[in-house]
C-alpha cells in the first residue's frame, strides 16, 4: 500500500513494487479528487445566500471552488515529488514514477473541474449550482 510505504519508510527497489505504487497512486488521486469535490460542496453549502440585485455569494463559492481545484493537484504532485519519489532507489524507476505523478495530477485537475461543472448543472437549484450559473 502507498500509505504503508510512506509510514513504514520502506524503499521501492523492484519493478513489481513500483507497479503496486503506481496503481495505488492512481487510486489515491481519485480519492483526493473526490475528497476535494466534497470539501468544495461543503464550503458552497456553508456560504449563506445574499439577497439583492447583485449578490456576492456565487462569486465566493466560485472562488473557493477554483482555489480548491488548484490546491488539490498541487499538494498531490508536490507530496509525491518531494517525498514518495525519494523512497524509490533506482533512477529509472523514479523516472517512471514521475511520469505517473504527472498523469495522476492532470487527472485530478481536469476531472475536478469537469465533474464540478457537471455537478453544478445537475444541482442547478442548490448553492453548489451557483458556481457555474445557467444563463436565463
Question: In this predicted structure, what is the pLDDT of residue 8?
Answer: 44
What count of residues does the chain have? 136
Question: In this predicted structure, what is the pLDDT of residue 51?
Answer: 74
Residues 61-114: tens digit of each pLDDT: 999 999 999 999 999 999 999 999 999 999 999 999 999 999 999 999 999 999
**H or E segment at 104?**
helix 91-122
Supply the pTM of this predicted model.
Answer: 0.87
Question: In this predicted structure, what is the pLDDT of residue 9?
Answer: 59
Please compute the mean of the pLDDT values over residues 42-52 and round it to a whole number. Answer: 86
C-alpha cell at 68: 480548491
Using the predicted structure, report yes or no on whether residue 115 has a pLDDT greater than 90.
yes
Please compute the mean of the pLDDT values over residues 13-32 and round it to a whole number. Answer: 92
* Residue 118 backbone dihedrals phi, psi, to 5 degrees: -65, -40
Question: In this predicted structure, what is the pLDDT of residue 1?
Answer: 44
Tally DSSP H helices, then E strands, for the chain.
4, 0
* 49 vs 61, residue with greater confidence: 61
Cβ 69 vs Cβ 36: under 8 Å: yes
How many of the other CB atoms lie within 10 Å of CB of 40? 24
Amino acid at each position: 500500500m502507498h500509505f504503508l510505504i510512506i509510514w513504514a519508510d520502506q524503499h521501492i527497489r523492484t519493478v513489481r513494487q513500483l507497479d503496486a505504487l503506481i496503481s495505488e497512486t492512481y487510486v489515491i488521486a481519485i480519492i483526493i479528487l473526490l475528497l476535494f469535490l466534497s470539501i468544495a460542496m461543503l464550503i458552497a453549502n456553508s456560504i449563506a445566500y445574499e439577497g439583492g440585485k447583485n449578490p456576492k455569494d456565487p462569486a465566493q463559492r466560485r472562488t473557493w471552488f477554483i482555489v480548491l481545484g488548484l490546491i488539490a493537484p498541487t499538494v498531490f504532485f508536490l507530496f509525491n515529488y518531494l517525498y514518495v519519489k525519494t523512497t524509490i532507489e533506482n533512477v529509472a524507476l523514479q523516472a517512471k514514477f514521475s511520469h505517473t505523478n504527472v498523469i495522476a495530477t492532470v487527472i485530478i485537475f481536469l476531472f475536478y473541474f469537469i465533474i464540478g461543472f457537471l455537478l453544478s448543472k445537475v444541482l442547478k437549484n442548490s448553492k453548489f449550482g451557483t458556481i457555474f450559473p445557467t444563463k436565463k
